[in-house]
Amino acid sequence: MAGSKLDEIDRKILAELQADGRMTNVELAKRVGISAPPCLRRVRTLEDAGYIRGYHADVSARDLGFEVQVFAMVGLVSQAEVDLSVFEGKCREWPLVRECHMLNGEVDFLLKCVAPDLSTFQSFLTEQLTSADNVASVKTSLVIRCAKDVPGVPFEILEERVRQLESGL
Amino acid sequence: MAGSKLDEIDRKILAELQADGRMTNVELAKRVGISAPPCLRRVRTLEDAGYIRGYHADVSARDLGFEVQVFAMVGLVSQAEVDLSVFEGKCREWPLVRECHMLNGEVDFLLKCVAPDLSTFQSFLTEQLTSADNVASVKTSLVIRCAKDVPGVPFEILEERVRQLESGL
DNA sequence: CGTGAAACCGTCGCCCC
DNA sequence: GGGGCGACGGTTTCACG
């Protein structure tokens, strides 16, 4: 269940497609060292098994006019499961909210938001988020700049672990 | 500079490729209502202009054995530009750190980290992050669950704004 | 931006190990 | 079980109108 059913070729396929999701299948096959048909079969299998959830173009938010990125730390009044779910449902409906993570610790949820400008975000903050039922507190932090934003997982770490497991047989 | 040089077709292309980055060019052309060659030319132009930064398969971290996701709030001793850059450089080299955002407010940086398990993360936390030069404080929060994680930007908002701008001519 | 053509690719059936 | 070969249909990507 923890990546154990994948062999080295599967992991290479995932790593390559994570790095370049538009690569042609023949190019991918060449890189992982098999021919195209089995390579495509593996990709389909990985997709169907849920290892690959989709493919997305990484668009530049800033260039598209989304100049504001904000992290919002949200505390709720009630942390009963029903109330958590209700809040999560709202987050899914708010387009400005791109990520909603439930955390341990002082704060209940961490939200990543984008907006075209500060006033758009402020409207959302006061009219939607802060005034939503069950929301006790909201603390926001503007992103000044982003030093790193890489998608997915570090396959280097995965390979390292596999090597350790194999040597420890 | 704020998405103003893009026409409606360009925005549709970006929205479609954000939703499905592996769509064939003919399918994309059909959806945006032009023929394939000009569609491909537009895609190339958008790529070259930086509106599209790349294409990535969205792989399932959990299924690959990365069971732990953590947000780390980092405070530095010195916020001089040189020292900020040095810290950002380290974040870029740490594979467990996937995102590094500089924030306003109490905390200097917010890091999103992934790890195969808690002990791997703890090692990274104590041996690398907390003990790095210039790091004053680190507060971490485990992600209990993720209610929403959509890539990119909300094109609905963009179209809404374009409509407002056009009606206000 | 569209059309046509050539090269390439995705995909299938079949054979092999 | 998985990988390779060959072939067909669709796609990418030119040059040109």
Q: How far is A102 from A109, CA to CA, in rounded Å? A: 4
Residue of chain B with shortest Cα separation from A6: B64
Question: What is the pLDDT at residue A166?
Answer: 80
**Residue A2 reports pLDDT greater than 80:** no
pTM, 2 dp: 0.93
| First CA to last CA distance, chain A | 19
pLDDT digits (tens, 9 = 90+) for A96-154: 999 999 999 999 999 999 999 999 999 999 999 999 999 999 999 999 999 999 999 99
**Residue A77 reports pLDDT greater than 70:** yes
CB-based contacts of A118: which residues, under 8 Å, 6+ apart?
A: A68
Note whether B156 contacts A95, CB cutoff 8 Å.
yes
- Contact, A135 vs A87, CB < 8 A? yes
Backbone φ and ψ of A95, nearest 5°: -65, -30
**Residue B4 reports pLDDT greater than 80:** no
Residue of chain B with shortest Cα separation from A120: B157
Torsion of CA B31, B151, B55, B121, to 10 degrees: -160
Contacting residues 26-55/A vs strand D (CB within 7 A): 34-38, 41-42
Report chain B residues whose CB lies below 8 A from the CB of A88.
Answer: 147-148
Report chain B residues whose CB lies below 8 A from the CB of A6.
Answer: 64
Amino acid at A68: V
- Tell me the mean pLDDT in the region B141-164: 95
| CA dihedral (B130, B136, B142, B148) positive or negative | negative
Structure tokens at A18: 């994570």
Residue of chain B with shortest Cα separation from A11: B64
Q: Which residue has the tokens 């802060």?
A: A130
Q: How far is A135 from A78, CA to CA, in rounded Å? A: 8
Neighbouring C-alpha atoms within 13 Å toward the C-beta of A33 = 5
Q: How far is A125 from A132, CA to CA, in rounded Å? A: 10
In this structure, is the CB of residue B26 within 7 Å of any atom belonging to strand C? no
Q: Pick from A93, A92, A111, A90: which is nearest to A101 by CA?
A: A111
Extended strands (E) in B18-153: 52-59, 68-76, 97-103, 109-115, 135-149
- Tell me the mean pLDDT in the region B8-37: 96
pLDDT band per the 50, 70, 90 thresholds, residue A4: low
Report chain B residues whose CB lies below 8 A from the CB of A56.
Answer: 17-21, 55-56, 58, 151-152
pLDDT digits (tens, 9 = 90+) for B102-124: 999 999 999 999 999 999 999 99
Q: Pick from A11, A16, A51: which is nearest to B62 by CA?
A: A51
Amino acid at A95: P
- Contact, B96 vs B121, CB < 8 A? yes
pLDDT band per the 50, 70, 90 thresholds, residue A165: confident
In this structure, is the CB of residue A40 within 7 Å of any atom belonging to strand C? yes
Backbone φ and ψ of B118, nearest 5°: -65, -40
3-class secondary structure, A67 = coil
pLDDT band per the 50, 70, 90 thresholds, residue B3: very low
